[in-house]
Amino acid sequence: SGELQRPDLSNRLRPGRCRTPARCRQPLSLCAVVRVGGHGVVCQHRRVTMPSGQRVCYYFDADLGNYYYGPGHPMKPHRVRMTNSLVLHYGMHKDMEVLRPPLASAEQLKAFHADDYIDFLRSVNPENQAELVQGVRRFNVGEDCPAFEGLFDYCRRYTGGSLAGAMRLNHGLSDIAINWAGGLHHAKKSEASGFCYTNDIVLAILELLKFHHRVLYIDIDIHHGDGVEEAFYSTDRVMTVSFHKYGDFFPGTGDMKDIGHGPGRNYSLNVPLKDGMGDEGYKQ
């Protein structure tokens, strides 16, 4: 149906086989999700041996570049169009299946996010935010995460690409799925944070867990992937790995001592880095 169902993350991993149709028959299946840079999610279905000639799908929606956080705001969705221009000029699109992402539904967003939070995002706009001051404060919509025109459709667009990519991996249609518009890793279950409103990464991982026993999430953005880590902090079905700047720096989380809780203990791995980290030090 394409709709997300809430998986039972409380159970320990049980022996079994990957259920990806007609593709993977290894005893265990792992799907890796990588969050890169200021934007972008890359998902890759991995087996014990990787085949040559991987099938890559790339999601792009030109309309995403029309959304505007406001004057002086550092988050600029039009960078997605700039990235796509580079993809085209380098000829990378010739080796990928280019797809327009579907809009995620409110029900799909509610697979992780609280109902009242999604309902608020659907209703708030620049004209009525003064009247919805209680919700604005409660859900942390304000200076960093403004209520700009078309906010809810913006969330549906960038989340739709990540969900669609996860579904293609699940059904064996692609080996790698790319959504440069995604990767909004700070969003919480009931709260906007760090320019992020809906957490497309968490939602994509929930989709992958329908077919895969475990998912590995790797975050190499300069900021700690706090929203994703928090969502899966108590389960052993998702391992989160974050390389990030740490100290007096947003969001202030991601200490090496944060390793998960209960069944998820040792399934959260943080690599906090200081200023001055270069290529060689990063490799080491």
User: Any idea which residues carry the catalytic annotation?
Assistant: 186
Judge residue 14's burial from the number of C-beta atoms within 10 Å of its C-beta, 0-12 exposed, 13-18 middle, 19 or more buried: exposed
CA-based nearest residue to 138, from 154, 114, 108: 114
**CA atoms of 112 and 9, how far apart (whole Å):** 12
CA-based nearest residue to 243, from 41, 34, 81: 34
Any residues with CB less than 8 A from the CB of 209 and at least 6 apart, and which? 7, 9, 215, 237, 238
**Residue 56 near residue 174 (C-beta atoms within 8 A):** yes
Give the torsion through C-alpha atoms of 80, 65, 62, 109, to 10 deg.
90
**CA atoms of 224 and 239, how far apart (whole Å):** 15
Backbone φ/ψ region at 2: left (φ over 0), alpha (ψ -120 to 50), beta: left
